[in-house]
Amino acid sequence: MERKHILRFLIILMFVALLAGLLNLDLLQGAKFRRLSDSNCIRLIAQSGARGNILDRHGQVIVDNKISYDVLILPQELNQLDRILSGVSRILGVETKELKDAFRSNYISSSIPVTVAGNIDLKKAVLLGEYKMEEPSIIIQPRPLRNYPYGALASHVIGYVNEIDRWRLTKLEDYGYKTKDIVGFGGVEEKYDYYLRQEEGGLSVEVNHRGKFMRVLGFEPPVNGKDVQLTLDLNIQKIAEDSLAARKGSIVLMDPQSGQVLALANYPNFNPAVFVSKRTRLISGLFNNPDAPLINRATSSSYPPASVFKLVVASAALELKKINLSTSFLCRGWTMIGARKFSCWDVHGAQDIVAAIAHSCDVFFYKTGLLTGAQNIHDYALKLGLGRSPGFELPYETAGFIPSPLWRKINKFQNWFDGDTANLSIGQGDCLVSPLQAAGMMAVFANGGYLPSPYIIKAVGGLDLSAKKRKLSRVDFKKSTFEIICRGLRAVVADARGTGNVLAGLGVKVAGKTGTAQVSRGSTHAWFVGFFPFDNPKYVICVLLENGGPGHAACVVARQVIEAMNKRNLI
């Protein structure tokens, strides 16, 4: 009897335990398992919005988006996957192995569709849409891709887009960026990525246990990025790039009254579309090219300014009353400074300040620089915007460099000699200036005493920012200083012996300064920085030809730009 009681007790105990387990599954953990069941049959299909457009000052599209199509597959059993990929392979003309590799590398979880092919054309998307009737697990998803209707035009201003790298991800993940996001690199694409980037939306769909689509559960629409409007004029930009004509260098055109950059051209350039199409060989060629086509030479590179820097020396000397309009020095083609002979590029005879600017007489500026002093030259260079970042909106801007006796003593533990002052007086030695800085300096003489903060962003998302960005710093020189130097700048072109005489006879009066910068290797760099029309300046122009020869070569390019602008009634 006792055995029967024990057996009965054990049976009852088992049923109690079973009942408790059922109650636990249904009442206590039922909600949890229902959620797991629901999530196992729900798939989330992301949908991308369009990145914001980039427009010129007149609203013309520089960069927009085109629709491409991606092929996604809901994760299946392996035998189903082989059959599906085989059918997709036939339609796309892509090897099955390549599709399998893409599936493995892009697989995240069973609840997320896997991309096996991207950026297919409309015809193949339609064919796959028909095949989808047999294989519902195939998803054809439209995706906006960056489109460049003008190819490489303004590429350094625009930048390019690519998959986020580890360095950027570590800095930006707190702002919602994640692995495989497409972000901007260089130019406006990088600097204004936060505004240009889109917000993802997507579909929530239900599938059965075999992964077959059943119904749509919900939809969150994607949000497009904001448009960014630039101050660039596409017509002027195209003229500038055409005028460079495969010569290594840079051209900047700026409004001297406001600081708006109307054209910023560089060569060599690049086509941002290669990063969209993932042309690995072309991308590798860009990064390995010794001519550095990805560098924005106008803002991120600096060069010896050569005779362009003589405007700084002239300003300092006139302001400090070291010279005046009647001061004259004799140029015999050379002068002695200490025990060393310093040469001029020509024999100019007696030169006053106006003639010395017009003829770019080195001897005059050697002697003027020595009278003025290296530290004063350094300080006046800073007043004219050199040796410090202009605060431009594009990334990786250089500050250039203006040496001084104090810098030499602290950083090199060396003394400063008169020969160093002579070199500085003609823009050689350690002196470095970017083309954008040179244009900003010339704007001071064009507008009569205001240093503009150059800018290239006009509006974001339809909100006009130009009024906020227009910052003019007063350069407190005497009126006579500007008048004397502007006379010299005009004589550069108007004087028959002026170094920029090739710019005469254009139908528009031009003023400016040439420069021929000596470098350690290769030919000299050619400079021309000027403004036009002389009586009512609307444009500042800076032309730099890297290893382009004498300053005359830069004048020839500037002439081509101004002639083309004049023909199109842009002046």
Query: Which residue's entry shows tokens 């990145």?
Result: 51
Strands 340-343 and 457-460: unpaired
Structural element, H or E, at residue 81: helix 78-92
What are the respective helix, strand and coil percentages of the chain, to the nearest 5? 40, 25, 35
Which residue from 387, 383, 391 is spatially nearest to 399, judged by alpha carbons? 387
Question: pLDDT tens track of the chain, all 571 residues?
Answer: 566 667 776 777 787 777 766 666 566 565 655 554 544 566 666 677 889 999 999 999 999 999 888 888 776 555 577 777 777 777 887 777 877 777 777 777 665 677 788 777 788 888 877 777 777 777 787 888 999 999 999 999 999 999 998 888 888 888 888 888 889 999 999 999 999 999 877 666 666 555 555 666 666 777 899 999 999 999 999 999 999 988 999 999 999 999 999 999 999 999 999 999 888 889 999 999 999 999 999 999 999 999 999 999 999 999 999 999 999 999 999 999 989 999 999 999 999 999 999 999 999 999 999 999 999 999 999 999 999 998 899 999 999 999 999 999 999 999 999 999 999 999 999 999 999 999 999 999 999 999 999 999 999 998 998 777 778 899 999 999 999 999 999 999 999 999 999 999 998 999 999 999 999 888 999 999 999 999 999 999 999 999 999 999 999 999 999 999 999 999 8
Distance in Å from the first CA to the final CA of the chain: 117
CATH of domain 234-567: 3.40.710.10
Alpha-carbon dihedral of residues 242, 245, 247, 253, nearest 10 degrees?
-20
Three-state SS at 8? helix
Q: What is the pLDDT of residues 415-467, one digit of tens each?
A: 999 999 999 999 999 999 999 999 999 999 999 999 999 999 999 998 998 77
CA distances from 229 to 53, 65, 422, 485 (A): 8, 15, 45, 36
Q: Contact, 162 vs 183, CB < 8 A?
A: yes
Q: Contact, 455 vs 469, CB < 8 A?
A: yes
Which residue from 503, 499, 498, 502 is spatially nearest to 533, judged by alpha carbons? 503
Structural element, H or E, at residue 226: none
Strands 54-55 and 228-230: parallel
State the Cα–Cα distance between residues 192 and 227, nearest whole angstrom. 10
Phi, psi (rounded to 5 degrees) for 332: -100, 10
Q: What is the pLDDT of residues 132-189, one digit of tens each?
A: 777 777 778 788 899 999 999 999 999 999 999 888 888 888 888 888 888 999 999 9
Q: Reduce the secondary structure of 512-556 to three states and give it as a string.
A: EEEEEECCCCCCCEEEEEEEECCCCCCEEEEEEECCCCCHHHHHH
Which residue from 32, 207, 43 is spatially nearest to 109, judged by alpha carbons? 43
What pLDDT score does 39 carry? 46
551-571 burial, b at 16+ Cβ within 10 Å, e below that, comes to bbbbbbbbbbbbbbbeeeebe
Which residue from 561, 526, 521, 529 is spatially nearest to 546, judged by alpha carbons? 526
Non-local CB neighbours of 533 within 8 Å, separated by 6+ positions: 508, 509, 510, 571
State the Cα–Cα distance between residues 16 and 149, nearest whole angstrom. 75
Cα torsion angle, 350, 355, 357, 359, sign: negative
DSSP 334: E
Q: Write out the two tokens for 130.
A: 């028909």
What pLDDT score does 222 carry? 79
Which residue from 438, 446, 447 is spatially nearest to 531, judged by alpha carbons? 446
Non-local CB neighbours of 42 within 8 Å, separated by 6+ positions: 111, 204, 205, 206, 207, 217
Residue 409, number of CB atoms within 10 A of its CB: 12
Q: Contact, 302 vs 276, CB < 8 A?
A: no
DSSP 454: -
Q: Contact, 192 vs 184, CB < 8 A?
A: yes
State the Cα–Cα distance between residues 274 and 276, nearest whole angstrom. 5
43-230 classified as CATH 3.30.750.80: no
- Answer yes or no: same fold for 43-230 and 234-567: no
Query: Which residue's entry shows tokens 């130019």?
Result: 187
Non-local CB neighbours of 549 within 8 Å, separated by 6+ positions: 516, 523, 524, 526
Alpha-carbon dihedral of residues 166, 170, 174, 179, nearest 10 degrees?
20
pTM recorded for the entire structure: 0.85
DSSP 25: I
Given phi > 0 = left and psi -120 to 50 = alpha, else beta, which region is 302?
A: beta
State the Cα–Cα distance between residues 126 and 550, nearest whole angstrom. 59
The domain spans of the chain are 43-230, 234-567
Residue 479, number of CB atoms within 10 A of its CB: 9
